Amino acid sequence: MKEFIVNPIAARCRFLLTGAAAVAASALLAAPAAAATVTTNASCPDTPVVQPFAPWGDSSDYFLAPDGGFEQNAAGWTLRGQAEVTDANEPWAVNAAGDDAALSLPAGSSATTEPFCIGVEHRTMRFFSSAAASGTLNVDALIEGPGASQRAVRIATVRGSDGWAPSPVVPMIVNELAADSANAMSVRLRFTPHGASPWTIDDVFVDPFFGR
């Protein structure tokens, strides 16, 4: 499993944004099990959820980010540099057995999801990636503001593991700000390789920690 680098800047950002100490987010550990439930969020639309990380001891429910499996050719994503969809799907096909796509992120590129809704209950996210152990990938949450303004908050820097692996559980950090937006805040997730190592990512999931 990939190493998660604790980012003191992100931790301070969360303290300043929420006015409270950082809340530790971690996966629930249990025997692998399938899920076919639907979230009932306070303000965001209902979303089908699954348990894609159950084989790795994480039985939490997750929903797929918009085209987070890249089966629609990264529809709605903003790709920069030479980022592009490839046929290098993660080997476990956790989203669907017929999936055959992933996203290639060479050095100097970035990829940003289309906006989606989160509430305070959307505490964490995870994804799959493949990269050299020497490589690092920055993950930012982009918060839509008034007009064309936008804030970027670094929520993780993840290390590669010389092959496909699930990411660590990544705290969303900005989710508590949704309380000031009727618990329905628009965010995007941005993935940016740091340094010369290329990355491939797939199956970007968000955890709606609701009713547990």
Q: Residue 149: its pLDDT value, please?
A: 65
Q: Give exposure, 153-170, as e/b (b: 16+ Cβ within 10 Å).
A: bbbbbbbbbeebbbbbbb
The CATH number of domain 4-208 is 2.60.120.260: yes
Cβ contact 116:187 at 8 Å: yes
- Taking only the tens place, the pLDDT of each residue in 137-163 is 999 999 976 665 679 999 999 999 999
Cβ contact 62:52 at 8 Å: yes
pTM of the predicted model, to two decimals?
0.81
| Element at 118 (helix H, strand E) | strand 116-118
CB-based contacts of 173: which residues, under 8 Å, 6+ apart? 10, 13, 14, 17, 22, 141, 153, 155
Question: Mapping DSSP to helix (H, G, I), strand (E, B) and coil, where does residue 177 land?
Answer: helix
Four-residue CA torsion sign, 163, 93, 72, 60: negative
Percent of the chain topping pLDDT 70: 76
- Taking only the tens place, the pLDDT of each residue in 17-34 is 444 333 333 332 333 344
Percent of the chain topping pLDDT 90: 71
Residue type, 80: R
Question: Mapping DSSP to helix (H, G, I), strand (E, B) and coil, where does residue 124 land?
Answer: strand
β-bridge mates for residue 193, sequence order: 137
Q: What is the mean pLDDT of the chain?
A: 84
State how far the Cα of 11 lies from the Cα of 16, in Å rounded to an integer.
9
Among 8-17, 56-65, 150-159, 184-193, which is the least confidently predicted range? 8-17
Cβ contact 8:173 at 8 Å: no
Query: For the CA atoms of the chain, what is the radius of gyration?
Result: 16
State how far the Cα of 106 lies from the Cα of 136, in Å rounded to an integer.
12
Residue 108 has pLDDT above 90, yes or no: yes
State how far the Cα of 86 lies from the Cα of 32, in Å rounded to an integer.
29
Residue bearing tokens 């950002």:
13
- Give how far the C-alpha of residue 12 lies from the chain's centroid of Cα atoms, to the nearest Å: 20
Question: Which comes out higher in pLDDT, residue 147 or 103?
Answer: 103
